[in-house]
Amino acid sequence: MADVIRLRHFIDGTWRAASGDRWIPDVNPSDAADIIAHVPEGEASDAHAAVEAAASALESWRVLAGPARAEYLHRWAAVIAARADELARAMAREVGKPIAEARGEVARCVVILRYYAGEAVREVGSVIPAQVPNALQFTLREPLGVVALITPWNFPLAIPLWKAAPALAFGNTVVLKPSEASASMASLLAETAAAAELPPGVFNVVHGTGPTVGTALLRASAVRGISFTGSSAVGAAVAAIAAERNVRYQTEMGGKNVVIVAGDADLDAAAALTASGAMRYAGQKCTATSRVVIAKEVEQDFLARLRAQVEALPLGPVDDPAAAVGPLISERSHASLTRSLAEAAPERLFGGELPHDPRFRRGFYFAPTVIRFESADAPLAQRELFGPVLGTLVADDLDHAIALANRTPYGLSASLFTRDLRTALRYVQRIEAGLVRVNGDTTGVDPHAPFGGFKGSSSGSREQGPAAREFYTEIKTVQINP
């Protein structure tokens, strides 16, 4: 334990030792023997100290002119760009993200910061005719205040930043509680914020568990906004606390994302993008494809192509630039996915065998697996598995396919492969999903486009793009009478 780094909180611009002495090992998912760091379990008092720092920093940050806030965000982007290689390697090691995707995520962070630097200087508010003659009536947008960000491990830089960047651009101050499984990346993010010379207290990181540190943040009276991304069960608990406190919140949660392959689809493209959406990063994206509904007349042709595409996706090691599929995040996730498949015992169409390479046994690798769902209501077709497991269903026609696609408690992301415009339009109107694609992958989203889902996938308002301004600001209607 002595040689392994012990993470500290980043509060008020300084590194602070945790108050308690309980630690969580931060394990490299590619090699269980590699302990990256020890993460403090954190105490409620740590969360309170971070909120206090953010509250003190708020007064000067919120009145800073937009161009000045933009300048900080540009500087932060430049620091991240300069450390891109180191950050991507650290990400691959900590969360098992194949290095090519890790590099993509770091590049995206730079884009996110630059986009919101632009948003900080965009015109705000509007002038509204008043009933009183000669009065000037207009709206202002003001920051919420201190916002708490609670984030998962799977996009360890991009998710914290796509929340923190708009929060800061619009004058809020931030306390981030990252996942215990991506705590080292959050500390690196804090390092980059410090290097960009963000004013002390504007961006704070407090480590620890959800029930202790997370709950303390959610209940802190100075916290006026909550943005959460993670599992649906935790999201529901977060939303309940926010609603009880009447604090603005958004929760971005799980998915059971679907591809529909119509009878007239380009089957090669459909197979390639379904395999990629389902298996890259071992299916551990909220937008990963986990179901494919195939028109019955092309089922066998599509499955043959899908098999070739899935088998062509290189499994780790994650530092290999060609790697597409890495390990699962933890031994627990591996055990849980193994158990779910063993209990349900679905018909396995192909995949599921790890290559005989000892490197894959050192970590939590799980071979890409394609199964046939017994029915759209089967537990495996309903529950988010968060691994490289794709299930198939067969549809008689488009309406049947859409009905099967909609038959889950989630509604995050969907794609349809077709060459027919009428088919595409009918699906766009009827699919229950926040991110709707035609002839594309279910994963990935432009940082300047609204992001979020229907039904159990999201609550509160969308993230990103113009939706972020709505979330991180309050409208004030002002009337100045003569």
Active site residues: 252, 286
Bridging pattern class, strands 23-27 and 347-351? unpaired
Among 192, 215, 289, 442, binds ligand NAD (CB under 6 A): 215
Q: How far is the CB of 222 from ligand NAD (least distance, A)?
A: 17
Are the C-beta atoms of 156 and 185 separated by less than 8 Å? yes
Span near ligand NAD by CB under 6 A; candidates 165-173, 209-217, 303-311, 375-383? 209-217
- DSSP labels for 411-433? ESEEEEE-S-HHHHHHHHHH---
Q: Is 151 in the site for ligand NAD (CB under 6 A)?
A: yes
Q: Is 150 in the site for ligand NAD (CB under 6 A)?
A: yes
SS3 409: coil
What's the burial of 137, exposed, middle or buried (CB within 10 Å: 0-12/13-18/19+)? middle
State both tokens at 42. 């954190």
Q: How far is the CB of 296 from ligand NAD (least distance, A)?
A: 30
In the bound state with ligand NAD, the residue whose beta carbon lies nearer, of 61 and 451, is 451
- The C-alpha atoms of residue 208 and residue 225 are separated, in whole angstroms, by 20
In the bound state with ligand NAD, the residue whose beta carbon lies nearer, of 98 and 263, is 98
CA distances from residue 482 to 130, 133, 135 in whole angstroms, order as listed = 12, 8, 6
Binding mask 399-438 for ligand NAD (x = CB under 6 A): -------------x--------------------------
Q: Is 96 in the site for ligand NAD (CB under 6 A)?
A: no
Are the C-beta atoms of 206 and 42 separated by less than 8 Å? yes
- The C-alpha atoms of residue 66 and residue 127 are separated, in whole angstroms, by 20
Hey, which residues between 452 and 471 contact ligand NAD (CB under 6 A)? 457
SS3 371: strand
Q: Is 152 in the site for ligand NAD (CB under 6 A)?
A: yes
Hey, which residues between 245 and 264 contact ligand NAD (CB under 6 A)? 252-255
Give buried/exposed letters for 455-464 (b at 16+ CB in 10 A, else e). bbbbbbbbbb
Hey, which residues between 221 and 240 contact ligand NAD (CB under 6 A)? 229-231, 234, 237-238
Q: How far is the CB of 138 from ligand NAD (least distance, A)?
A: 34
Among 286, 323, 398, 414, binds ligand NAD (CB under 6 A): 286
Q: Is 179 in the site for ligand NAD (CB under 6 A)?
A: yes
Amino acid at 143: P
Amino acid at 183: A
Bridging pattern class, strands 248-252 and 458-460? antiparallel
Binding mask 358-387 for ligand NAD (x = CB under 6 A): --------------------------x-x-
In the bound state with ligand NAD, the residue whose beta carbon lies nearer, of 418 and 443, is 443
Are the C-beta atoms of 411 and 455 separated by less than 8 Å? yes
State both tokens at 30. 């590619």
Are the C-beta atoms of 7 and 200 separated by less than 8 Å? no
Q: Is 447 in the site for ligand NAD (CB under 6 A)?
A: no
**Which residue's beta carbon is nearest to the bound ligand NAD?**
210
Span near ligand NAD by CB under 6 A; candidates 11-19, 80-88, 208-216, 308-316? 208-216
Among 75, 114, 177, 462, binds ligand NAD (CB under 6 A): 177
Q: Is 441 in the site for ligand NAD (CB under 6 A)?
A: no
Cβ-based neighbour number of residue 423 at 10 Å: 20
Q: Is 148 in the site for ligand NAD (CB under 6 A)?
A: no
Q: How far is the CB of 236 from ligand NAD (least distance, A)?
A: 10
- The C-alpha atoms of residue 149 and residue 360 are separated, in whole angstroms, by 34
Given the rule CB under 6 A, which residues bind ligand NAD?
150-155, 177-180, 209-211, 214-215, 229-231, 234, 237-238, 252-255, 286, 384, 386, 412, 457
